[in-house]
Amino acid sequence: MDKNYWDLTDRPHTERKLKILKEYLYPWAEIIFNQWREHGWKNFKTAYYIDCFAGRGRYHKNSILNSIDGSPLIALNCAKFFQKKFKDKVGLKCIFVDARESYITELQKFCQPYKRVVGFSIRHADINEEINSILKEIGSNAALFFVDPWGLKEISQETMTAIIQKKGPVDLILNYICGTKRVLGKIAGMAQAGKIDDQFIKLTDSVGFFHGDLVFNCFDKKDREILKAWEQEMFKDTRLEFKSVYKMLHSSRSEAVYYLFFASRKPVAKKIIDYILKKEDSETFSGQLSLIPRDNFDI
């Protein structure tokens, strides 16, 4: 991992991503807990936030260390807010997963003040190995999965399928990192040159890990088209019908760093996220280029 990854000074797109997460998480939790209050549905009394690549918990900015909350602390503050609002009758339980021991050590330190305030667990694990245990624990309770990998080779097609097909209410925010088209270009060039070596196998395994075999029908497609093909395959037999895609541009070039992909079973959830994303289009961070509208996908 780049040593500057946790410095947001020149990475406005990450700060924007965290802002979008925060602005969606609060109304999502409000709706979930109001459903419990109005209808008494047990699987809405306790909701879950699952951070599949939680990281260390805080970012630096402008030479001020640990000054920006990462996704885990955003979630913990949200859980604290709603437990106070509903007088501890509801709970947002947070599950933080990361495979990097150094990040887990720092995350434990940053989460310590919340230890006797809200329910959370920190797991030093690979999400691909931990997902079945998590799904068994949360059962049919409402859940929001935040999937923000270091690269698409970090999370498997099988893990994404398990999340998408979870029993009960589920929302998904996925950071779909661009670069698959570039890797496919390398694979095609190596195949044409007859260079079928260990590097070739490594590259094919890396793009297939997340996308599955469908990616090898996408050599002539752009990243956004590959994402659309993945979405059409993965969601065709699920109840997550309402989706939005947000193109996050590089801070200094007019190209996408990643696509923020959102999916839910409920139309009201799409309305909320679309409102948030539309508002983001009207705001700019220092060095952030204007954003392309989210109608890239007819979904």
What confidence tens digit (pLDDT) does each residue in 56-72 have?
999 999 999 999 999 99
The domain in which residue 129 lies consists of 12-179+224-281
Return the number of other C-beta atoms located less than 10 Å from residue 55's C-beta.
22
Q: In this structure, is residue 118 part of a structural domain?
A: yes
Q: In this structure, is residue 143 part of a structural domain?
A: yes
Q: Is 0.95 surpassed by the pTM of this model?
A: no
| Residue 298 pLDDT | 41
For the chain, the average pLDDT equals 91
Amino acid at position 224, single letter: R
Residue 291 has pLDDT above 50, yes or no: no
Q: In this structure, is residue 69 part of a structural domain?
A: yes
Amino acid at position 101, single letter: E
For residue 75, what is the domain's CATH number? 3.40.50.150
Q: Which pair of tokens denotes residue 213?
A: 């075999």
Amino acid at position 278, single letter: K
State the average pLDDT over residues 13-21.
94
Residue 292 has pLDDT above 50, yes or no: no
d(CA 58, CA 71): 8
Return the number of other C-beta atoms located less than 10 Å from residue 29's C-beta.
23
The count of domains in the chain is 1
| Residue 253 pLDDT | 63
Q: What is the pLDDT of residues 156-191, one digit of tens each?
A: 999 999 999 999 999 999 999 999 999 999 999 999
Lowest mean pLDDT among 90-104, 120-134, 217-231, 284-298: 284-298
Q: In this structure, is residue 126 part of a structural domain?
A: yes
pLDDT band at 290 (very low <50, low <70, confident <90, very high): very low
Q: In this structure, is residue 1 part of a structural domain?
A: no
Amino acid at position 142, single letter: A
Q: In this structure, is residue 287 part of a structural domain?
A: no
Q: In this structure, is residue 4 part of a structural domain?
A: no
CA distances from 242 to 31, 46, 170, 210 (A): 16, 23, 12, 21
Q: In this structure, is residue 6 part of a structural domain?
A: no
pLDDT band at 17 (very low <50, low <70, confident <90, very high): very high
